[in-house]
Structure 1
């Protein structure tokens, strides 16, 4: 369950890949909802989007608590330049900042726009134009930043796997390295 000095444990691996899949679904549903004009369809997508945001928040908090109190990360892969280790740490920290910022701006958007009451069924009003509310700006910027971080992170993993062949990607998968 726990990580070793050379490999991530099953808990860390499961949280990592589940988070990745859910964040991709979240990004897809968010961009989809932003492009839809039909209010009823948009409302259904946003119900999914809001619920998924809460699941991602819980998973992110679980991950932070897991690293703080229950496990330690494996040692860095030997032979990598210092700038790559610094870039990897920066990307991981940015992931946490963006995830938490996206949750905060999403909740803020639901509250100030009144959409939270609509999505929860408390009122049957129409969804507002989210562009009229300040939290929409950081929420949209965060989504685009998340896409960039995802591409950078996945690209680095693929580079390590295909070019460097240093076993970095295998450390974040189930089974023996």
Structure 2
């Protein structure tokens, strides 16, 4: 097994009972950064006033969307086939653990549905052809999966706010080292 050194402690690739492993942590933070970029690109592309700006925003949005889709599939496979998540914190009530699990499952489902609706929108609207030929980007508002994509993006933003809010609540109010399990800070002994 490969071990990485972090703050004088060995950090395994796979998760332990108290901390996520290097692979899970890396997937989480890389995906998080890409999702923030995707949201910014997508929201701005939807409001772009010129074809040139829409094209400039859509090209990386599509590429990053496919990358997040692939990383999410890998992440799900990682949890199913290779790793186990750390045990829930004993100090966290069961209801909160169930809500956290629901937010995580809904987040994965939303990412997969966003990718599917984005791909369907681009194919049905002819966006890929337009991007490859230099033709103007076609209007997407009348394409059925486009409405689902926009709705899913807003739902995902709500889930993201819940996820980040819960992490900050644990970090600054409960001070239970929850973020340390995801590589930020030091675990309590």
User: For the superposition of Structure 1 and Structure 2, which TM-score range results when normalised by the shorter chain?
Assistant: over 0.9
Q: Which has the higher contact order (CA 8 A, sep 6+)?
A: 1
User: Residue 143 of structure 1: which of 136, 153, 166 is its match?
Assistant: 153
Between Structure 1 and Structure 2, which shows a larger proportion of strand residues?
2
Q: How does 1:15-34 map to 2 (within 5 A)?
A: 15-34=27-46
Contact 2:117-2:149 at 8 Å conserved across structures: yes
Cα distance in structure 1, aligned partners of 2:145 and 2:127? 13
Cα distance in structure 1, aligned partners of 2:182 and 2:64? 24
Sort the Cα spacing of 1:9 and 1:174 in 2 relative to 1 into closer, same or farther, 3 A. Answer: farther
- Give the aligned length: 175
CA displacement at 1:174 relative to structure 2: 5.9
CA displacement at 1:53 relative to structure 2: 0.6
Q: Within the alignment, does 1:38 sit opposite 2:38 as a pair? A: no
Between Structure 1 and Structure 2, which shows a larger proportion of helix residues?
1
Contact 1:30-1:46 at 8 Å conserved across structures: yes
CA displacement at 1:32 relative to structure 2: 0.7
- The unaligned stretches of length 5 or more in structure 2 are 1-12
Q: Within the alignment, does 1:66 sit opposite 2:78 as a pair? A: yes
Q: Within the alignment, does 1:102 sit opposite 2:114 as a pair? A: yes
Q: Given the two structures, how large is their TM-score scaled by the length of structure 1? A: 0.95
Q: Which residue of 1 aligns with 2:19?
A: 7
Deviations 1:77-121 (CA, angstroms, capped at 9, x unpaired): 0121111011000000001110000000000001110011112x1
Q: Given the two structures, how large is their TM-score scaled by the length of structure 2? A: 0.90
Q: Which residue of 1 aligns with 2:129?
A: 117
Q: Which residue of 1 aligns with 2:10?
A: none
Q: Which residue of 2 aligns with 1:173?
A: 183
Deviations 1:31-58 (CA, angstroms, capped at 9, x unpaired): 0101111101111210110000110011
- Aligned-residue CA RMSD in angstroms? 1.1
CA displacement at 1:132 relative to structure 2: 1.2
Contact 1:113-1:133 at 8 Å conserved across structures: yes
